[in-house]
Amino acid sequence: MNIEISQRQSRRDLLFQAGGGLGGIALASMLTTDGLLAGDSGSPAARTLDFVPKATRVVQLYMSGAASQCDTFDYKPKLIADHGQPWDPGEAVELFQSQPGQSMRSPWGWKQYGQSGKWINDCVAPLGECVDDMAFVHNLVSKSNVHGPATFMQATGFILPGFPSMGAWVSYGLGRLTDELPTFVVLPDPRGFAPNGPKNWGSAFLPAEHQGTMIRPHAANPIDDLFPPDGTYINSASEADSLAALTALNRRHAERTPGDSRLDARIRSYELAARMQLSTPAALDLSDEPKHILDMYGIDAPNVSTDAPMNEGEETRYFGRNCLVARRLLERGVRFVQIWSGADNGHPRRNWDSHEDLARDHWPLGRGLATGAAALIRDLKQRGMLDDTLILWTTEFGRMPCSQGTLGRDHNPFVFTNWLAGGGIKGGVTCGESDEWSYKPADPANPTYCYDIHATMLRLLGIDHERLTYRHNGIDRRLTDVHGTVIDELIA
């Protein structure tokens, strides 16, 4: 594109000269969407899927700080029977910041739910009504007991930085469902970021357009820089003129720097931002939701009288709003939504990292999670969307079956729990058990890693995880690295 821009040039002249280029941009965008643009490296979405997909959308629920499997979903009668006795697994145990204490039962009781009879802790009891739609994996293992690397592993498949997130891979592999909203949206905890921050949803070496777009539904300004500030010289006309000029200049620069996806992503972000100015406010506006839906998600849950740093009512409102916004984004064409519970480490605690007092921290977080997640499952199901929406619940690792001090639990990378629902998942099943303490996999020779969960997710989306690759630094990289086995027992 060759556009002459001078100080004397009128807006009409600029638009006349840029018109062909802007039309070409629009055509290129449509050709890319339809997979007809030769040489496009932005997405392989045009290729034929490897399998008939059972899911078209994904919601990832991420519990930052390491949620305790033995106080939520992994019922162990032995911990109840041995409570208060010295814990001895028959081997030396190296913990993150403590010495093994006594066997420690959950502070709360357990009940069986559904036709499957799944045991669910009272901490997350609202999910009990959904267990026949859920599948549990209790033998997950992490390669790190440190929050940052372990969070990376679950979010990107690697314990090191510099690799694309799950959502970026799905965006790259399948492309977008709508032109009005981003393909991959992230809803962080209102209090802040988890360890690694936005790198958890970055695109790394994939084209930059596939990184997650952060939306903060609880904030006065949910999306940074989407709208111009009030009281400035910027108006709709001047903004359109500025975008036209920037597009022309950026395209000229792009011709001189081939192979750099960042500028192309920035140009596409301008185009998407213009459409989002119309579509996003509607997606975030809950005023058209009926009262029974708002109540189901706990949008107006009252605070519970307590002097603890985290409040059950507040957690319910936080997580419930994010889950309801996620449903509204999904039904408007967003393909991957990531919802975070828990911010980075701080004191008093504001995440699931319950070293000091598990009952104090896990109860409000667990009730908030369970209320919002149960509402999301029920709501998607009643709208006919659960069948092709895959929900994945995870955390970076688990917690030990013994006490840290008297009230807390230390890190346990040796076993933890994931659960999945919808999107082709066989509900009411458990695949992979932990041992009698919820300390390690019951079958040490056959643990489950995030690679297996990721491979199963891609399989349900119609993708062979070994074929979704991107060549970087001479290596054909993929989400599952050189690992991963589809867990067939999870698939309906």
Please write the tens of the pLDDT for every residue from 366-393.
Answer: 999 999 999 999 999 999 999 999 999 9
User: What percentage of the chain exceeds 90 in pLDDT?
Assistant: 71
CA dist list (Å): 289 to 285, 293, 329 = 9, 6, 14
The conformation of residue 197, written as its DSSP 8-state character, comes to G
- pLDDT category at 12 given cuts 50, 70, 90 is very low
Distance in angstroms (rounded) separating the CA atoms of residues 338 and 348: 25
Q: What is the pTM of this model?
A: 0.85
Q: Which of 83, 204, 216, 218 is nearest to 152 (CA)?
A: 204
Q: From the options 3.90.79.10, 2.40.50.140, 3.40.720.10, 3.40.50.170, give the CATH code of 51-235+283-490.
A: 3.40.720.10
Q: Which residues contact 168 (CB under 8 A, 6 or more apart)?
A: 184, 201, 202, 203, 204, 206, 210, 211, 212
pLDDT, greater one: 273 or 470? 470
Q: Which of 98, 189, 99 is nearest to 151 (CA)?
A: 189
Q: Work out the number of other CB atoms within 10 angstroms of the CB of residue 256.
A: 7
Does position 14 have pLDDT exceeding 50, yes or no? Answer: no
pLDDT of residue 263: 65
The tokens for 463 are: 């993708």
- pLDDT category at 269 given cuts 50, 70, 90 is low
CA angle 24, 281, 291 (to 5 degrees): 145
3-state per-residue secondary structure call for 107-147 = CCCEEEECCCCEEEEHHHHHHHHHHHHEEEEEEECCCCCCH
Distance in angstroms (rounded) separating the CA atoms of residues 137 and 416: 8
Phi/psi of residue 9, nearest 5 degrees: -75, 135
Bridge partners, 491 (sequence order): 425
The sign of the torsion formed by the CA atoms of 48, 54, 55, 61 equals: negative
Distance in angstroms (rounded) separating the CA atoms of residues 216 and 40: 32
Q: For 79-233, list the strands marked E by DSSP.
A: 110-113, 118-121, 134-140, 184-187, 213-214
Domain boundaries along the sequence of the chain? 51-235+283-490
Identity of the amino acid at 483: H
Residue position matching structure tokens 């409040």: 311
pLDDT of residue 247: 75
The conformation of residue 386, written as its DSSP 8-state character, comes to G
pLDDT of residue 21: 44
If phi over 0 gives left and psi between -120 and 50 gives alpha, with beta otherwise, what is residue 179?
alpha
pLDDT of residue 492: 96
Q: Is residue 421 helix, strand or coil?
A: strand
Does position 15 have pLDDT exceeding 60, yes or no? Answer: no
The tokens for 436 are: 């009698």
Mean pLDDT confidence for 66-76: 98
CA angle 88, 90, 95 (to 5 degrees): 65
Helices (H), strands (E): how many in the chain? 10, 14
Q: Which of 7, 33, 121, 68 is nearest to 402 (CA)?
A: 68
The β-bridge relationship of strands 429-430 and 134-140 is parallel
Pair 11, 241: CB distance under 8 Å? yes
pLDDT, greater one: 412 or 224? 412
Q: Which of 17, 478, 25, 489 is nearest to 271 (CA)?
A: 25
Element (H, E) at 320: helix 312-331
- Rounded to a whole number, what is the largest CA-CA distance in the chain? 85
Q: Which of 321, 340, 339 is nearest to 64 (CA)?
A: 340
Mean pLDDT confidence for 388-400: 98
Residue-averaged pLDDT of the chain: 88
The tokens for 345 are: 């480490």
Pair 380, 422: CB distance under 8 Å? yes
pLDDT tens digits, one per residue of 24-51: 444 444 444 444 443 344 555 545 799 9
Bridge partners, 392 (sequence order): 60, 420
pLDDT tens digits, one per residue of 141-188: 999 999 999 999 999 999 999 999 999 999 999 999 998 899 999 999
Distance in angstroms (rounded) separating the CA atoms of residues 155 and 199: 9
The tokens for 311 are: 């409040």
Q: Which of 157, 171, 160, 247 is nearest to 213 (CA)?
A: 171
Identity of the amino acid at 309: P
Pair 312, 366: CB distance under 8 Å? no
- pLDDT category at 2 given cuts 50, 70, 90 is very low
Q: Work out the number of other CB atoms within 10 angstroms of the CB of residue 95.
A: 16
Does position 79 have pLDDT exceeding 70, yes or no? Answer: yes
Mean pLDDT confidence for 193-215: 95
Phi/psi of residue 236, nearest 5 degrees: -60, -35
